[in-house]
């Protein structure tokens, strides 16, 4: 994959700027553009890396351990290993953030493999077992929301 290549995945587009091999495993850096109204991804945890996000355009709403935080241009947020989180774009315009994953153990292969699982569903429901396997192999654990009474 050449640097700057964009991977489209549903309502998001990911452009990798620094891959693990570029930093000798110290960090992975990518931009994540989110279409207006998008709700992605499923809530999850990172088992092997921290993620710091920095707002580049619009407003992206992050939920981290149940606390909501809006990240606008110039705002930053650190998501520590093991913290359950997800993000959405509630706005009427697209949003974008820069993500820095440290160490650099997470990269383009994750998004390419997730896209393959979604593509093979041919518009139907994706194979949840295959999605789970890809997530776990790349150090992510999906979080099942707690039941409410």
What ranges do the domains of the chain cover?
6-142
- CA angle 129-39-94, nearest 5°? 135
- pTM, full prediction: 0.88
Residue 148, Cβ neighbours under 10 Å: how many?
4
The pLDDT score that the predictor gives to residue 1 is 46
17/30 Cα distance (integer angstroms): 5
Q: When comparing pLDDT for 135 and 40, which is higher?
A: 135
**Looking at the predicted structure, is the pLDDT value of residue 2 above 70?**
no
Tokens read off for 22: 């570029």
pLDDT digits (tens, 9 = 90+) for 12-69: 999 999 999 999 999 999 999 999 988 677 899 999 999 999 999 999 999 999 999 9
Q: Which letter does DSSP use for residue 74 in this model?
A: T
Q: Are 52 and 100 in contact (CB under 8 A)?
A: yes
Residue 98: phi and psi, rounded to 5, are -95, 135
**Looking at the predicted structure, is the pLDDT value of residue 147 above 70?**
no
Q: Alpha carbon of 106 to those of 42, 47, 48, 65: distances in Å?
A: 17, 11, 9, 21
Q: Helices H, strands E: what count in the chain?
A: 2, 11
- CA angle 14-20-23, nearest 5°? 120
**CATH code 2.60.120.10 for 6-142:** yes
Residue 95, Cβ neighbours under 10 Å: how many?
26
């Amino acid at each position: 994959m050449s640097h700057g290549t964009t991977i489209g995945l549903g309502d998001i587009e990911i452009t990798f700027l620094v891959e693990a091999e570029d930093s000798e495993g110290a960090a992975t850096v990518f931009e994540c553009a989110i279409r207006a109204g998008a709700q992605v991804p499923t809530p999850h945890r990172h088992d092997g890396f921290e993620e710091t996000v920095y707002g580049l355009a619009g407003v992206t709403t992050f939920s981290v351990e149940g606390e909501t935080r809006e990240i606008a241009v110039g705002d930053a947020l650190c998501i520590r290993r093991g913290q359950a989180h997800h993000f959405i774009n509630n706005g009427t315009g697209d949003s974008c953030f820069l993500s820095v994953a440290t160490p650099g153990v997470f990269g383009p292969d994750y998004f390419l493999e997730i896209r393959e699982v979604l593509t093979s569903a041919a518009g139907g429901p994706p194979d949840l077992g295959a999605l789970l396997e890809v997530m776990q192999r790349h150090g992510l654990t999906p979080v099942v929301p707690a039941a409410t009474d």
